[in-house]
Amino acid sequence: MRVTPIPPGQARWPRAAFPAGLAPATTRLRTRLQDQVGPDGALRDPCHSRVLESALMLALLDRTRQEPAARAALTAYLATHRDSPQPLERLLARAALHTHSDAADLLDVDRLLAQAPDFTGLRKRALLHAVLLLLGATPTTKPPAAEAFSLHGLHTWAQVQVTAVKAILARAHGQPHLVDTHDLDLLRATQQPGAVWEGNLLIHLSVLHALVPLPGHEALIADGIRIALTHQRADGGIPFICDEDTWLTATAGIALHAADAPRSVLDVVARRLLHLQHPAGGWSYTERAQLADTDCTSAAIEVLHLTDPHANRQPIHTAVDALNALRGPDGGFPTYLAGAPSEACMAAAAANALSTQGHHQHTALESALGFLADQQHPDGSFPPDWSSSRHHTVFRAILAAARHRDNGTPGHFAWHITRKAIRLVTDSQNSDGGWGRQDGDVSDALSTAYALITLSTAGPAPGPAARGAAYLLTQQRTDGSIASTPDSIGPRPFGFTVPALADIFTLLALGHLTRRLAPLPLPPPPGPRPVVTGRRQGEPAGHR
C-alpha cells in the first residue's frame, strides 16, 4: 500500500489543478492520526456495536433470564434499528424484539450472500439460517446440506463457527446425533476465563447459544455472558470483534509514512509491530488473536521496510517466509490457511509486501500478478473481498502492478490490470466527484480514497483526481477526522464499523496524491549581504 515511485515519463500533475485547501487538510488529518498513536506505538479504536451480535446477545439473555440491566440497554439499542434502511439490520432487530415483521422485511438471501466469495457460500447460508432460528424468525431455506459443516481446509475460527452452527441447527431440526464429543470439546475450549476467544464476539456468542441447551453448562454460560457484557458499548449494543488494533496500527504506519509524518512516530509504530510479531513470522488483526493472516502480515512487512529495512532485515525475512508458506499453486494467496482458496485482495496485499525484497521475490510477484489478471473481471473489478467497496482490491492490485518491472509493457499482466482498473475508476466517478462502493451507490470517503490512490498511481490526467480530492475535503470534520460509510466486512458478507479506517485510508490517499503533484518551487537563493555604510567595520549600529 506504500507510495510507488514516479516512473520515468509519467507526468506530474500541476498543483494549481487541485483544491487550495489540500495541503492544510492533509496536515490536519495527519496530526489527528499521529496524535492517536499511543506511547506504546499502537493506534486503538474499538469496533462499534452491530445489530447481529446485539440481537444474539439479547436472545441469549432471554434464554437464560440473566442480566436484566444489560437486557434493557440491548433492547433500547435494537429499537433504534427497527426501521433501519438495511434489510438485514431491520429483520434482525425486529426479530430480536419480537416485533411483527411484514413483507418489507423479507431478506434477499441470495443477494446478500453474493457479497461473499463463492467458496464461503454454504457455511454463510448455514450461519444465517442458525441466527434466524435463534431469533425466532422462520428462515425460508431448508436445513443446510452436510457439506456446510465440513471442517476440511478451514482455519480455526471457521472451524469453531461451523461447529457452533451445526450444534444449533442439529437441535432445531431434531438431529442431535450430528454433534459428537469432539464437537463439544472444541466449543468448550473457546470459553477462557476473562477473555473473548480470538477477540471474536460473534463466535463467542454462537458457542454459548450452542451450549445453552446442554445440562451441566450453566456456570460456563453465566461466565461467558459476563465476559461478553464487558464489551457492551455505551449505546447498549455489542460489537462483532473487540478491536482490530494491530491492523489499524500497521495501516496507519503506511499512511503516516506516505504523508511525511515525523520519524519518531513511525519508529514507535514499527517497534509496536515488532513486539506483536508471532514466532512463525506473521501478524493477526488484534493482539488478542493467535491466527495470523496475509493482510496484516503484508501491511506489517511494508511498515518495517519503510522505517528501517536494514535494522528490520531478520523480522522481515521471517515474515516473508511466512507469507510464501501460504502461497497457492495458482500464484495467489489465501487469507489465513495454506491450501485454502486464493483471493485476489490477498494476492495483491502479498505482492506489495514481497515487492520490498526486489529481485529476490520476482517469481512470486510475477505469479501473484498472473493470478490477479485471471481474477480481474472485464469491467476492472475483482471478486468480493473484506471490503464492501469494489475499489478496495482495485487500488491494491494497481499498486502491485506498478511495482513490476514490466508494468508499462503492453500485453503484460501488470499492463492489463492497470488498463482495466483505470477504466473502471474513470467511468464510475459520481457527479459530486466521489465514488461509491458499487455501481450506482452514493459517494463515500473510503471508496473515494481507494479510487484516488488508483488514479494517483497510474491516472493519465489530473481532472478526475482533482474532483475526487475536492470531494474528500468536504468529508473532513473540524477535528480533522473523516466521515464515511463503513466498508469493512466480517465475517463476509456482514459489515462492521471501525471509524479510524476512514482517517487512515484517506490520509494514505492524500499521501499518494501529494507525491504525484509537481514539486514545490525551491526558494530563491539568498542574495549577497547588504553592505552597511556610514560606520567602520565592527562599530555597533547607531554609534555616533
d(CA 351, CA 4): 13
d(CA 468, CA 540): 58
Grid cell in block for residue 495? 459489515
Single out the catalytic residue among 295, 444, 487, 503.
295
- Which sign, positive or negative, has the C-alpha torsion 199, 204, 206, 210? positive
d(CA 364, CA 348): 11
Which ranges of 51-200 would DSSP assign to H, the alpha helix? 51-64, 68-79, 87-96, 109-113, 121-134, 156-172, 181-188
d(CA 185, CA 191): 10
Grid cell in block for residue 334? 489465501
Q: Which residues pair with 443 in a beta bridge?
A: 436
295 is catalytic: yes
**Strand ranges for 324-366 from DSSP E:** none
Contact, 271 vs 253, CB < 8 A?
no
Grid cell in block for residue 393? 482490491
Question: CB count, 10 Å around CB of 121?
Answer: 16
d(CA 459, CA 395): 12
Distance linking the first and last C-alpha atoms of the chain: 67
Tell me, what amino acid is at 465? A
Contact, 228 vs 57, CB < 8 A?
yes
**Strand ranges for 283-416 from DSSP E:** none
Q: If DSSP codes are grouped into helix, strand and coil, which group holds residue 41? A: coil
Question: CB count, 10 Å around CB of 473?
Answer: 21
Contact, 187 vs 517, CB < 8 A?
no
By annotation, the residues acting in catalysis are 295
